[in-house]
Amino acid sequence: MIKSILTGTGLAAIVCLAACNQGAPTTDTNTPTPDAVAANVDSTVNPAQDFFDYANGGWIKRNPIPSEYSSWGIGNLVQEELYKRLRIINEKAVENPNDPISKKIAAFWTSGMDSVRINAEGIKPIEAELKAIDAVTNTAQLVQLASKLNVHTGAFCSLYIGQDAKNSDVIVVQLEQGGLGLPNRDYYFNTDDRTTKIRNAYPGHVARMLQFIGYDSSSAPKAATGIVALEANLAKSSRKLEALRDPEANYHKMPVAQLNKIAGNADWKEFIQQQGISKFADTIIVGQPEFYTNLSNALKSQSLDTWKDYLKWHVINAAAQHLSDTIANTDFAFYGTLLKGQDKQKPRWKRVLDAEESAMGEALGQLFVKEFFNTTAKKRYENLVEEIRGELKIRIEHLDWMSDSTKQKALYKLSKITKKVGYPDKWKDFSAMDIKQQSYHQNIEAAQQWWQNYQVNKLGKPVDRNEWDMTPQTYNAYYNPSNNEIVLPAGIFTVPGKRDEELDDAIVYGYAGASTIGHEITHGFDDEGRQFDAAGNLKSWWSKEDEKKFNDRAAVMVKQFNGYVVVDTLRINGKATLGENIADLGGILLGWEAFKKTEQFKKNEKVAGYTPSQRYFMGYALGWLGHTKKESLAKQVLTDVHSPAKFRVNGPFSDVDAFYEVYGVKPGDGMYRPDSTRVRIW
């Protein structure tokens, strides 16, 4: 389950993207600040032994994780600045709502901050949904209602609307596995102590939440036991994290009638239409057919009462953070404290801003870029994209393991990658979003419904390849294989406390060129992205021999990362994180080659006591500045395709020859890997 304002189709726009968390915005002061990388160093650590601790350890020692967070680092520093700016925008909108967008912003903010009303309402905002569940008398009605609720809860399964992986010019209805209350299938079956503790606590949490909606102390535990057993049954047929990364294996195009044959206890055409999708070709894409067969069987084998309990649980689970403090705090005790290690909730105003970002962040983004991302900065990073693209072109041309015919196709794909830098050229129109003076939960659902309608309206229309799926202020970036594009929001490029013009090239080429731009471009050629052609279609363009050579080299990286222990006995899943690890290594190599052509590199003058070459690697490490609680690290290992930050620095650096030269790494050092075991792909 993803705890987000956007579920169903609203969230699906970014589900398939290779999004890679890094970034940051500038401060508003001209007061001199410490050097962006030198100030973070822990000089007691040998960089050849543990570069992450060396480059970031000084900052980590001085900056403990606040109690309301499960991790603390550069992304949080960015977000803290952003919170302050966005709060001012909202408060000004309340004082003077002089245009339609300001009125929506004011209404959303006011409803979210009205804790007196929210606490007084209790479960009133979800009573209509609960009564609708009570009224269900048969399986057909259950399935119909599950579809309607799916838009807001994500219960039952995952339906979204997006580009056909094998025909990127067409938007289609797609069905994926889903419907779980724990983060993914492994939480229902793994036997390590930490996961077992969470699983054992889960039924009690479900029971406590059910009591808020009318179950008594006797019926709640019984219902919770049935719910958890049903979810475990669904989890049994859900694919593992690494298996979900194979685009070919998760692509099953079929008529709806065929889905009805393999999952016949539900009318899937009606299920789709209940979400307002009346106009769609009778063909859908099913990611994991075995999940739907099992779901269908469960509709017959599980009692109607258990299914009704399940839907009620997912209704309150999805709404919990928008209801009374008592309900929200109970929800947080499980999902925040137990799963992530957070000791307390963020203050309400930050939580409201988080929800508003999901609801209409692009509207806020229009105000953000006017002040914090000027045209000079935009041009700097557009140019850097082309420098990085040029370096990958050179590297592909000189590969000794790839045939000429595959090289030509790779070079063509590279030339066709679209770059989107900073912010969209055309903004989304939120005028139809029904945000107004009503309950906070109603505004949340109004935003979700708008996103649902927005996605549904794409069916039967040409793909809008100019659309952005992140807001300008987002601390992230992504590569979208279906559009063969890299999307680089303004927030990803800046460093907290620094204006862009204050950053020397060494930092920029490491921080932005390597960990962001080079990383995202390399995603087009990682183990997943390489399977899409220049037009964004899932289509084999490799020779069998070249494909084998790629996979053999990628296997070296899988083995390398499988060896890293993160917390307790939990190791990185080298296969699940392979795409991100390949992109990290590729980005570092591309950024380095581009940086070597700069005047700063050629002059080789020290800044703040460090050579340009040293500052390049320190600049990359700055993108991963921070530390994380063990609970959150354990969750990340099980649910995230990204390696934890420390290993996104130390892991790929151990494969980079230039790093060995700059820092004198030798056998016996912690960062050393024999040449024969270093990863050589791009």
Q: Is the pLDDT of residue 9 over 90?
A: no
Contact 499, 31 (CB under 8 A): no
| Among 665, 410, 393, CA closest to 542 | 410
DSSP string for 212-234: HTT--TTHHHHHHHHHHHHHHHH
Residue 2 is predicted with a pLDDT of 28
Selected residue with higher pLDDT from 366 and 159: 159
CATH 1.10.1380.10 for domain 123-322, yes or no, is yes
Residue 7 is predicted with a pLDDT of 31
| Among 586, 607, 585, 422, CA closest to 506 | 607
Residues ≥6 apart with Cβ < 8 Å to 216: none
CB atoms within 10 A of CB 677: 11
Portion of the chain with pLDDT greater than 90, in percent: 89
Question: How far from chain centre, in Å, is Cα 303?
Answer: 35
> How do 71-73 and 626-628 pair as beta strands?
antiparallel
Selected residue with higher pLDDT from 370 and 575: 575
Interval 347-363: pLDDT, tens: 999 999 999 999 999 99
Please tell me whether the overall predicted TM-score, pTM, comes out greater than 0.95 for this model: no
Choice among 11-25, 245-259, 328-342 with the minimum mean pLDDT: 11-25
Interval 542-560: pLDDT, tens: 999 999 999 999 999 999 9
Alpha-carbon gap, residue 364 to 133, rounded angstroms: 36
Domain spans, the chain: 123-322, 373-424+468-677
The one-character DSSP state at 502 is G
Contact 353, 86 (CB under 8 A): yes
The one-character DSSP state at 607 is B
3-state secondary structure of 178: coil
> How do 626-628 and 565-567 pair as beta strands?
unpaired
pLDDT band at 500; cut points 50, 70, 90: confident
Alpha-carbon gap, residue 541 to 536, rounded angstroms: 12
Query: Average pLDDT, whole number, for the chain?
Result: 93
Residues in the chain: 682
Rounded to 5 degrees, what are φ and ψ at 628? -140, 145
Mean per-residue pLDDT, 439-454:
97
Asked if the domains at 123-322 and 373-424+468-677 fall in one CATH topology, the answer is no
| Superfamily for the 373-424+468-677 domain | Collagenase (Catalytic Domain) (3.40.390.10)
3-state secondary structure of 19: strand
Residue 403 is predicted with a pLDDT of 98
pLDDT band at 19; cut points 50, 70, 90: low
Q: What are residue 174's DSSP bridge partners?
A: 160, 285
pLDDT band at 8; cut points 50, 70, 90: very low
Contact 29, 84 (CB under 8 A): no
Portion of the chain with pLDDT greater than 70, in percent: 95
The one-character DSSP state at 610 is B
pLDDT band at 681; cut points 50, 70, 90: very high
pLDDT band at 179; cut points 50, 70, 90: very high
Mean per-residue pLDDT, 189-213:
97
Choice among 88-97, 120-129, 621-630 with the minimum mean pLDDT: 88-97
Choice among 85-89, 290-294, 605-609 with the minimum mean pLDDT: 85-89
Q: Is the pLDDT of residue 10 over 70?
A: no
Mean per-residue pLDDT, 76-103:
91
